[in-house]
Amino acid sequence: MTSQIPRLRMTGVKKRFGATVALAGVDLTVAPGEVLALVGENGAGKSTLMKVLSGAHKPDEGQMWLDGEPYAPAHPLEARRRGVAMIYQELALAPHLSVTENILLGLEPTFGPILRKSEMRRRAADALAQLGRPDISPDAIVSDLSIARRQLVEIARAVAVGCRVLVLDEPTSSLAQSDIVHLFNLVRRLKSGGLATIYISHFLDEVKEISDRFTVLRDGRSVGEGESATAPVKKIIALMVGRDVEDLYPRGERKAGEAVLDISHLAGQSKPSDASLTLHRGEVLGIAGLVGAGRTELLRCIFGLDPVRRGKIRVELFEGPATPAARWRQGAGMISEDRKTEGLALGLSIADNLTMTKMRRLVNPRRQRAESRRWISRLGIRCRNPGQPVGDLSGGNQQKVAIARLLHHDVDVLLLDEPTRGIDVGSKAQIYQVIDELAQSGKAVLMVSSYLPELLGVCDRIAVMYKGVLGSAAAVADTNEHQIMFQATGATETV
Amino acid sequence: MQQSPPLEQPGSPRWRISFGWLNQIGPVLGLLAIFALFAFLRPKTFLRVDNLQIMLLQTTVYATAALGATVIIISGGIDLSVGSNIAMCTVVIAKLLLMNVSPAMSALVGIGASMACGLAIGLLVTLLDLSPFIVTLGMWGAIRGAAKWIADETDVDAPRTWINSLMHQLRPDQQWMIFPVGVWLMFVLTLLVSAILHYTRFGRHVFAIGSNEQTARLCGVRVKPTKLGIYLFAGFFAGVAGVLHFSRLTIGDATSANGYELNIIAAVVIGGTSLIGGQGGVFGTLVGALIMTVVANGCTKVGLSNSLQEIVTGGIIILAVALDRFRHWRRA
């Protein structure tokens, strides 16, 4: 295989967004008839890399070749024309149209202005037959199909345009076990037909099963590769997490006190399916896990944003589920992982965002501004004045406003969902400082993060969530990144 | 392949500041410009004191109902049924007056009926989780129908009472009042709503829900009760507008105030309140309502035909919405 021209080759691909380096130099090759697994932690740069490959982003530096010819797609359509097809986690199908119409969307054969319906149907049936799935009717309406079948329709669409590189982004995240077996069979079938496949996944057992080789991405860089079948899982994980723990994490004198949050066998609508934990005053408890493991949903259930199906919750003295309004009154507050669509009202002022949870019946704007100024100076929020819309601020400063809301309300229990996502290092350090001070003053913090060094640096105990189930919490001293990644990826091999 | 890092965009903060300022003052400048134009074209007729009073009287019904509509629109909602609601209110008042109920009681019951409609809208929006557009589109027809049914499909002639003096041009011996009582009422209510929007928790929550409902929920705002309150609140202003409308009509007319809902929404939007929600205010709405009246009145005085007037008014509404879009497009 080495003598062949690679189907796709990328060298030194770099991409920067403002001050953030998303890709710091990625090298990658896939041969025809090969399945390459692309692995890396959340935020390692996988999605940016895929966007570069699909023409959605232009790389700042680096080169790409497709079958030995330079490949620099200016837009996604060109990438499709050159035969690079992406199957995203969120499927991109028109649900009201038929399977045929979806497969040939944008490529409909016509006679003058008139669609050649029978030709369309034939081509769609061909594509489905190529996938070994003639059982899917070309006339079915997509919204009537299961998720697994919709995914097949999307793959058929890629095959119908004669794709040369197929990229599957976390294709099993919403599939049942039996569908995964079918998908793997299909990938093997396409592979024997000479297709090059890039398979992105968190699940290392899948990676070992389906891929020939793997490339590890970390901090926007390709840091290693190898043969999937022979490489020990331990080695892959070491490549994924191996980075320096910066000296960012202050840790003062913390004394664990009484339990202020107690949940047992909590289950939400779909996730979490079983979560139990106890959080004490003066303690920071971290929840690790992969995207989609159900960590966010756990916090939302506790805070009353998502419905609780069963299980017990106790916040301070209050038993049972409650609305967010009640939670604030009980002395609990939450930071949303999604700052823009939920965490903050971007069009409203800093003062309104900061004091929204704790407004009196009559609002005194002068006092509201004075209180806001106190937090602005305390947290070093960079802004013109408290009346400025939050949307004008940088990400780090926005997040500080979200945290200041909890501080202003003076809550005892803090639920923090990805509190440092997408913000600069300076703001991160400041937020870690605040969290430590809160723990020292006897507040209880429950924190979800996808960034393991951060959890290990900030927390006293860490529990790992895998597919909706929360494991038992371990003291930070008794665990490490490797062990957490093992639990988070559901790897069966022991350390 | 090599690319230099993106350049800083020069001068963008300056733009932002000047436009932010224009947002606030823009509608007022527009009103002054339009007013000056007609004053220049027809100084003899347009600028007469009684014409100015007529324009204010014409604005009052719209502007009063638009106070409630502004609150709804700031919260991200819409009310298409307000015209029907005003008409129904006039019918209720006329019917009660015919039954020898006291004028004050009749007016209060009329306002109560309008508030009941607001409550019904609020319940449908919150309990059934329907979009306000659909709910109020349905209520637009339903309330109009109810009004006709109450009126037995005819105009309801009512005895003259003091209610009719609320909106009538002042007699020479009343000139010390400057404006009729209804106009004063509109001004006072505008101040009141502005104060409610800025100095009460309810008002701040209205902005929060309109700006980002999810954030409001996260922050413990009781979104549904607040929305219910908003539609009830707007129902009150539709009712007061109904009383003022009745004062001018002197009869209960189930077919009147037709199309007012669109003029009211137009006044709100021209006044700078965003249809997306989250920002706006009632002073702008008052200015917006005045712009609508001045344009209509001025066009008549200049001698433009009715059809041309409607085209001009439509153009102004589209222009205002385009400006609204432009403001948001810059923000994004």
The C-alpha atoms of residue A280 and residue A254 are separated, in whole angstroms, by 11
Within 10 A of A111 (CB to CB), how many other CB atoms are there? 8
Q: Of all residues in chain B, what percent carry a pLDDT higher than 90?
A: 68
Q: Band of the pLDDT at A42, cuts 50, 70, 90?
A: low
C-alpha distance from A355 to closest chain B C-alpha (Å)? 9
* Residue A246 resides in a domain: no
Average pLDDT, chain A: 88
pLDDT for residue A3: 52
The C-alpha atoms of residue B84 and residue B72 are separated, in whole angstroms, by 17
Do A206 and A234 belong to one domain?
A: yes
Q: Band of the pLDDT at B35, cuts 50, 70, 90?
A: very high
pLDDT for residue B3: 39
Give the chain B residue whose CA is nearest to the CA of A345. Answer: B212
Do A209 and A313 belong to one domain?
A: no
Does B208 contact A356 at a Cβ distance shorter than 8 Å? yes
State yes or no: pLDDT of A112 exceeds 90: no
State yes or no: pLDDT of A175 exceeds 80: no
State yes or no: pLDDT of B64 exceeds 80: yes
Interfacial residues of A (vs B; Cβ cutoff 8 Å):
16, 18, 58-63, 72, 303, 305, 323-329, 334, 336, 341-348, 352-353, 356-357, 359-365, 391, 405
State yes or no: pLDDT of A189 exceeds 60: yes
Does B207 contact A348 at a Cβ distance shorter than 8 Å? yes
Q: How many alpha carbons lie under 13 Å from residue A81 in its C-beta half-sphere?
A: 10
- First and final C-alpha spacing in chain B: 29
Q: What is the pLDDT of residues A64-102, one digit of tens each?
A: 999 999 999 998 888 888 999 988 877 788 889 999 999
Q: Band of the pLDDT at B11, cuts 50, 70, 90?
A: very low
State yes or no: pLDDT of A184 exceeds 50: yes
Q: Are strands B251-252 and B156-157 parallel, antiparallel or unpaired?
A: antiparallel
The C-alpha atoms of residue B207 and residue A489 are separated, in whole angstroms, by 43
**Nearest by Cα to B160 from B110, B98, B112:** B98
Do A319 and A457 belong to one domain?
A: yes
**Do residues A434 and A420 make contact, with C-beta atoms less than 8 angstroms apart?**
no
Range scoring the smallest mean pLDDT among A379-383, A470-474, B156-160: A379-383
Q: Band of the pLDDT at B275, cuts 50, 70, 90?
A: confident
State yes or no: pLDDT of B224 exceeds 60: yes
Q: Are strands A469-470 and A461-466 parallel, antiparallel or unpaired?
A: antiparallel
Of the segments A144-158, A240-254, B177-191, which one has the largest average pLDDT value? B177-191
The C-alpha atoms of residue A422 and residue A442 are separated, in whole angstroms, by 28
The C-alpha atoms of residue A26 and residue A38 are separated, in whole angstroms, by 11
Q: Band of the pLDDT at A20, cuts 50, 70, 90?
A: low
pLDDT for residue A495: 42
* Residue A252 resides in a domain: no
State yes or no: pLDDT of B168 exceeds 70: yes
C-alpha distance from B204 to closest chain A C-alpha (Å)? 8
Give the chain B residue whose CA is nearest to the CA of A324. Answer: B220
**Amino acid (1-letter code) at residue A101:** E
**Nearest by Cα to A403 from A383, A425, A418:** A418
C-alpha distance from B220 to closest chain A C-alpha (Å)? 4
Q: Are strands A461-466 and A474-475 parallel, antiparallel or unpaired?
A: antiparallel
Q: Are strands A110-111 and A114-115 parallel, antiparallel or unpaired?
A: antiparallel
Q: What is the pLDDT of residues A280-335, one digit of tens each?
A: 999 999 999 988 899 999 999 999 999 999 999 999 889 988 999 999 999 999 99
* Residue A254 resides in a domain: no
B111 in helix, strand or coil? helix
**Amino acid (1-letter code) at residue A427:** S
* Residue A251 resides in a domain: no
pLDDT for residue A425: 66
pLDDT for residue B16: 39
Residues in chain A: 495
Q: Is B330 on the interface with A (CB under 8 A)?
A: no
Do A207 and A296 belong to one domain?
A: no
Q: And the tokens for A193? A: 């037909």
Do A485 and A392 belong to one domain?
A: yes
Do A230 and A270 belong to one domain?
A: no
A14 in helix, strand or coil? strand
**Do residues A48 and A23 make contact, with C-beta atoms less than 8 angstroms apart?**
yes
**Amino acid (1-letter code) at residue B98:** L
Range scoring the smallest mean pLDDT among B1-10, B14-23, B120-129: B1-10
Give the chain A residue whose CA is nearest to the CA of B207. Answer: A348
**Amino acid (1-letter code) at residue B46:** F
Does B214 contact A341 at a Cβ distance shorter than 8 Å? yes
Chain position carrying tokens 């001025």 = B298
- Point out the domain boundary residue: A207, A241, A275: A241
Q: Is B2 on the interface with A (CB under 8 A)?
A: yes
User: A86 lies in which domain range?
Assistant: 8-241
Spell out the domain ranges in chain B. Answer: 56-257
C-alpha distance from A344 to closest chain B C-alpha (Å)? 6
State yes or no: pLDDT of B109 exceeds 80: yes
C-alpha distance from A425 to closest chain B C-alpha (Å)? 21
Q: Is B12 on the interface with A (CB under 8 A)?
A: no
Does A363 contact B200 at a Cβ distance shorter than 8 Å? yes
Do A234 and A287 belong to one domain?
A: no
Q: Which residues of A touch B222 (CB under 8 A)?
A: 323, 325
The C-alpha atoms of residue A183 and residue A201 are separated, in whole angstroms, by 14
The C-alpha atoms of residue B271 and residue B264 are separated, in whole angstroms, by 11
* Residue A134 resides in a domain: yes
Which CATH number belongs to the domain containing residue A376 in this structure?
Answer: 3.40.50.300
Q: What is the pLDDT of residues A196-225, one digit of tens each?
A: 999 998 778 889 999 999 999 988 889 889
- Point out the domain boundary residue: A175, A210, A241: A241
Q: Between A61, A343, A361, which is nearest B201 by CB?
A: A361
Average pLDDT, chain B: 88
Q: What is the pTM of this model?
A: 0.76
**Do residues B91 and B251 make contact, with C-beta atoms less than 8 angstroms apart?**
no
At B318, give phi and psi (nearest 5°): -65, -40
Does B204 contact A360 at a Cβ distance shorter than 8 Å? no
Segment A145-165 mean pLDDT: 88
CA R_g for chain A = 25
How many folded domains does chain A comprise? Answer: 2
Distance of alpha carbon A199 from the chain centroid: 16
Q: Band of the pLDDT at B21, cuts 50, 70, 90?
A: low
Q: Between A59, A72, A344, which is nearest B215 by CB?
A: A344
* Residue A282 resides in a domain: yes
Give the chain B residue whose CA is nearest to the CA of A299. Answer: B218
* Residue A253 resides in a domain: no
Q: Which DSSP state fits A450?
A: S
Q: Band of the pLDDT at B142, cuts 50, 70, 90?
A: very high
Do A437 and A373 belong to one domain?
A: yes
Q: Between A16, A345, A361, which is nearest B5 by CB?
A: A16
Give the chain A residue whose CA is nearest to the CA of B198. Answer: A363
**Do residues B278 and A347 make contact, with C-beta atoms less than 8 angstroms apart?**
yes
Do A346 and A459 belong to one domain?
A: yes
pLDDT for residue B324: 66
pLDDT for residue B17: 40
* Residue A445 resides in a domain: yes
Give the chain B residue whose CA is nearest to the CA of A350. Answer: B208
The C-alpha atoms of residue A117 and residue A130 are separated, in whole angstroms, by 20
Do A227 and A279 belong to one domain?
A: no
